Structure 1
């Protein structure tokens, strides 16, 4: 499996702008419509470019309605990419997945989460270091919390030898990232994707 791990310093030279308000689409327009019966999953697994790319690739045509990158887990209103990168807002770079629970289960999304990144490194993924790159599951209800803890325990036993440091927290306020971050690796396909050995 692979996930994006571009050099952190190179990312600082990209343009910065203010993130869109929660609920707005990545282009800053009207609120995105959510299909009836859709569910939401929110995870953080390092650089959100790669996380989005991998989820879209894995679940395309299998019940994935939408996936968007943004910021969660902090205490600043309307955080910008620059502020999140500074580590001063407390936010994590994250992915929010809107999906059809009759085709994809929350458990499947979390099992994939534990296979597509390294959940054993605190505030780091590859060369990217900082609290914004922490591993986290942000649950939206009690059932999601229960499944998150079960899957984490299983992943710890089966794949990661008890070393998982992933946070499991209630989902707080979500902020969409700036428009140029959405589908970033689809629009900029030359970026490096870091490989992980497959987990059985």
Structure 2
């Protein structure tokens, strides 16, 4: 491993992350809608959220770079949360119900590797919880479809440009992926 690789950020440089908080990093298609639905569902239970680009092969990519498909980054969301208010497991359970985890490199009309379904973990405990929730969700919610969500260690996270942060709050009429809604029945 080269010395430069140890300086690659895995945590948003602007995420509020007080002592005792944990971080969940997910990719569920368009990061605007992912951020928006988590804010609506959890509100004050979350300390902070930042959209960005995770687990790609280039450093400090731009939105245009990521959209080209050449960087292998996923549009992602980092969530800083107090585990006494909401658990990592609950955030991951919600993840599987707020998007379609059975479509590879796609959410609704958004197609490309940047829209893949992934959970990026910081440690073995998160990896174990995410895999367990994935298996439970597969059986209960998607018995006739295969969940394609990857669960993998986070290797890098780059903040998206400022205009992407809180995008749907700043632009209430902005684009929301039609696959971002809370499922209430299993997929048939």
Structure 1-normalised TM-score? Answer: 0.82
Gap regions ≥5 residues in structure 2? 1-9
SS in 2 for 1:60: helix
Q: Is the 8 A contact 2:16 2:80 kept in 1?
A: no
Structure 1 residue aligned with 2:82, among 82, 91, 100? Answer: 100
CA shift, 1:72, in A, is: 0.5
CA shift, 1:192, in A, is: 4.5
Gap regions ≥5 residues in structure 1? 1-20, 26-31
Query: Does 1:37 find its partner at 2:20?
Result: yes
Encode CA deviations 1:3-44: one digit per residue, 9 max, x unaligned: xxxxxxxxxxxxxxxxxx96433xxxxxx5421100000000
Structure 2 residue aligned with 1:178, among 161, 178, 182? Answer: 161
Richer in helix (by share): 2
Q: Residue 199 of structure 1 corresponds to which residue in structure 2?
A: 185
Distance in 1 (CA, whole Å) between partners of 2:174 and 2:94 is 22
- 1:69-148 maps to which residues of 2 (within 5 A)? 69-148=51-130
Query: Does 1:169 find its partner at 2:155?
Result: no
Aligned length: 173
Q: Is the 8 A contact 2:66 2:73 kept in 1?
A: yes
Distance in 1 (CA, whole Å) between partners of 2:70 and 2:16 is 32
Q: Residue 13 of structure 2 corresponds to which residue in structure 1?
A: 24
- 1:140–1:199 distance in 2 versus 1, CA, 3 Å: farther
Encode CA deviations 1:133-184: one digit per residue, 9 max, x unaligned: 0000001110000000000000100001251000110011110000000000
